[in-house]
Amino acid sequence: MSADTEGCAFCRIANGEFGVRFLYEDPDIVAFHDIAPKAPVHVLVIPRRHLKSLAEASPDQAALLGKLLLAAGQVARQLGVAETGYRTVANTGADAGQSVAHLHLHVLAGRDLAWPPG
């Protein structure tokens, strides 16, 4: 484990250290409820592999990024919000509100979501 991944809460969650119940799980991706939800449905979708943010993603990670988006859609269908609508957000960097240095998508739904956000 590298220094980046050793202290990363999301890496630890993905490795099963905290006993978080996954809504979606495959060899590359996990999804789970946010502990501080900002909407009635608020799920985080993360890669198991540590990647700090989209800013650090490279072309060789295109398949992983695609799987991340497909998993977000699967979670929305599973939770019954795909038909009514949901928002998928990736905050990149502190100024955008990224609070955990591990790439993650927020899937938000269950109420009217204002635009523009923030």
**102 noted as active-site residue:** no
Mean pLDDT, rounded, for 27-32: 98
Do the beta carbons of residue 54 and residue 104 sit within 8 Å? Answer: no
pTM > 0.85: yes
pLDDT greater than 60 at residue 2: no
pLDDT greater than 80 at residue 6: no
pLDDT tens column, 31-75: 999 999 999 999 999 999 999 999 999 999 999 999 999 999 999
**Which two structure tokens, joined as six digits, stand for 101?**
């240095």
How many C-beta atoms surround the C-beta of residue 106 within 10 A?
A: 20
Catalytic residue among 33, 42, 102, 104: 104
pLDDT greater than 90 at residue 25: yes
Domains recognised in the chain with CATH numbers: 3-108 (3.30.428.10)
